[in-house]
Amino acid sequence: MAKYKAPLRDMQFVLNEVFEADKLWASMEATQEVTPDLADAILEEGAKLTENELFPLNLSGDEEGCRFDQGQVFTPKGFKEAYQALSEGGWMGLGGNPEYGGQGMPKMLTVLFEEMLYASNASFTLYPALNNGATLLLDSHASEEIKEKFLPPMYEGRWIGTMCLTEPHAGTDLGLIRTKAEPKDDGTYSITGNKIWITGGEHDLAENIIHLVLAKLPDAPKGTRGISLFLVPKFKINADESLGDHNLVNCGNIEHKMGIKGSATCVINFDGSEGIMIGEPHKGLAAMFTMMNYERLSIGIQGLGLGEVAYQSAMDFAKERIQSRAPTGPKNPDKAADPILVHPDVRRMALNVRAFNEASRAFASYVGMQLDISKYHTDDTTRKHAANLVALLTPIAKAFITDRGFDATVEAQQIYGGSGYCSEWGAEQYVRDARIAQIYEGTNGIQAMDLMGRKVFANKGEFLAIFAKDVREFLQEVSGQEAMQPWVTALETELKRLESVTEAVIKAASENPEEIGAAAVDYLNLFGLVAYAYMWARMAKVAQDEVDADSSGFYAAKIQVSNHYLKRVLPRTLALEQQILAGAEVLMTLEEEAFYAE
C-alpha cells in the first residue's frame, strides 16, 4: 500500500540551513514576525493535516472520481469534509494578504506546505491551488472595492476561484478566443462563450465559485492585444454580500481523464453571465499572467509531491520484498532471498528518484526565495534582480520539475515489478496523476519555448547572467574548502557549458528563428541539470560542515546522494550540449508530407 510522511527534516534543512530563511525574513519588514519556530509549527501542523485528512482520501478519490448530474458536480466522498478542515484551519489564506484576512506567510514556506498537499492528494489540492492563484491575481490587479468584497471569503474558503482561459479551438494561442464581453449600462459586462478544461469549474466544496475569465470586448484589437479579464461569480453578490441569483454560469460536462480523477475538469458555458472587468480593457492577458505564473510553479510542485510519495511508497515496498541474492553473496542467509535494495539496478532507480526529489525541493524553495525578495525587499536593484530570476526560472520550475516528477513516479513504479501495475499498491495512480502536470498550465514544450525565446534570446542572456553571478558568488565562498572541490570544478565547468551553448543558440537564432524551437527543450533540460547541480552543491556544503557532529546519519546520506547526482546524473549535460548544437536543420529538412501515412 502507498505510504506518505511529510519529509519535515529535509524541508527544515532546506529552509533553515541551506537558504537561512530566518535571516532573510528578519531583514524584510513584511516577514519579520515569521520566526523559525513559527515556520516549524506551520510545517508540523500542515503535516498532520495532509497525512491524516487528505492522504487517506487519495486512493478512494481516484476510484470514485467526480460525478456529473444535471449540471451539478459532486466530488468524491470525504472531499467536502477535508475542504472544510482546510478552510477552518486558515490554510486557504496561508500566503494571502493580511489586509484582507490572509496570513501573509512567505512563499519560501508556502511552497513546502504545497508540496505536502500535492503529495498527499493531488486531485484535491488543485481546488485550493487555483484559489491561491486567483486571490493573488485579485490582490495584484483588482480595485480596492473588489478586493474588500472578494478576498476575505476566498481566503476563508467560503468562495473559491478558478481560471478560465482555454476554448475548444484556442489552447496555447489565446489570441483566438471567441468569448465575448458586452458592456452594460450599470458598468458590468454580459459574458457569453464556452471554456473547456476548467479545473474546479463546478463542484460542491464551496458556496460560491469565482471565475476569472478571459474575453474580448466588441471593439477589441485582434490577437492577444485584444483580451480583457473579467470576474464572473457563479452566484451574484447582493449589496449586503450575501449570495444572490444564479449568474447563468453552467457546467456542460466534466472530462473523463487519465488521472487526477477527484479534480473536476469542466466545460463551462457563460450564457450572458454578469462579469466585472479586472484591470484595464485589452490588458487582461498581462493580468492573467500573475495567476498563470503562480500556477506554473504550483504545478511544478505537483510533480515534486507525486515524486516524493511515489519514492516513499516504493521504499516501503522495497523493505519487505525479497528477490534473489545480492551479487556479492547472501545478505540475509536466514531468509529465502535478499531485500531488493541489495541489487545495484534497484538502487540506481531509487537514487535517481531521491536525487531529483531533493533537488526539486531545494529549487522550488530557491524560486520561492526570489519571489519573496522581489516582493518585500527594500532595495530596488535587489528586487529587480530577484524578479528577473523568477521570470527566468519559472518555466524551468514548471517543466523540469514535472518532467523529473513523472520520471520519478515511473522509476518508483518499476521498483515494484508487476505489483506496481496493480492499482491496490498506488504506484500506477501516481504515474497517471503526474502525467498531466507536463501538459497543463502550458505544455512543457511551451515552457521551453518561453525560456529560450522570451527569457534568454530576447534579452541576449541578461537574466542568465544574474543566475550565473549568484552561482559564482557561491563558488567563491566555498573555493577554499577541500571537500567541496569536486563541486567547485564540476559546477564551474557546467556553468561555462551553459553559457557557451546560450551564446551559440543566440547567434544561430539571430539568423534563423527556427533555432529557438529546435534548441528549446534540450536547453531547458541542460539548464535544469545545471540549476539542480547548484542546489546540490549548496546542500552538500552544509552537509559537509555538519557531518562530523551528526549521529543521525542525515548529513552523511545527503553527501552520498549528492555524489550520485554529481557522478551519474550531471554528465547528461554532455549529450544535451551536442543535441542543441546540432541545430534546426536536422529537424526541418524532412518534407512535411513525409510525416504522414500513405
Compute the distance between CA of residue 39 and CA of residue 95 in angstroms, rounded to an integer.
12
**Element counts in the chain: helices (H) and strands (E):** 19, 11
- Taking the alpha carbons at both ends of the chain, their separation in whole angstroms is 48
The residue behind cell 484589437 is 221
Compute the distance between CA of residue 356 and CA of residue 300 in angstroms, rounded to an integer.
13
Compute the distance between CA of residue 218 and CA of residue 526 in angstroms, rounded to an integer.
45
Provide CB contacts within 8 A for 453, sequence distance 6+: 516, 520
What is the DSSP secondary structure assignment for residue 192, as one 8-state letter?
A: E
Catalytic residue check, 441: yes
Compute the distance between CA of residue 84 and CA of residue 81 in angstroms, rounded to an integer.
5
The residue behind cell 527543450 is 521
Instruction: State the cell numbers at 322.
Output: 525479497
Compute the distance between CA of residue 108 and CA of residue 105 in angstroms, rounded to an integer.
8
Instruction: State the cell numbers at 202.
Output: 463546478
Instruction: State the cell numbers at 136.
Output: 493573488
Collapse the DSSP code of 237 into the 3-class scheme (helix H, G, I; strand E, B; otherwise coil) and give the result: strand
Compute the distance between CA of residue 530 and CA of residue 495 in angstroms, rounded to an integer.
7
Instruction: State the cell numbers at 86.
Output: 482546510
Q: Which helix (H) or strand (E) holds 332?
A: none
Beta-bridge partner residues of 214: 229
Q: Which helix (H) or strand (E) holds 182?
A: strand 180-183
Catalytic residue among 53, 308, 441, 577: 441
The residue behind cell 471593439 is 219
Is there a contact between 478 and 543 (Cβ–Cβ < 8 Å)?
no
Compute the distance between CA of residue 420 and CA of residue 414 in angstroms, rounded to an integer.
7
Closest to 129 (Cα-Cα) out of 298, 265, 301: 298
Is there a contact between 430 and 306 (Cβ–Cβ < 8 Å)?
yes
Buried b (16+ CB within 10 A) or exposed e, 167-199: beebeeebeebebbbeeeeeebbbbbbbbbbbb
Residue 479 φ then ψ, to 5°: -60, -25
- Longest CA span, the chain: 84
Is there a contact between 412 and 427 (Cβ–Cβ < 8 Å)?
yes
Is there a contact between 55 and 85 (Cβ–Cβ < 8 Å)?
no
Closest to 49 (Cα-Cα) out of 113, 123, 100: 113
Collapse the DSSP code of 191 into the 3-class scheme (helix H, G, I; strand E, B; otherwise coil) and give the result: strand
Q: Which residues are catalytic?
A: 441
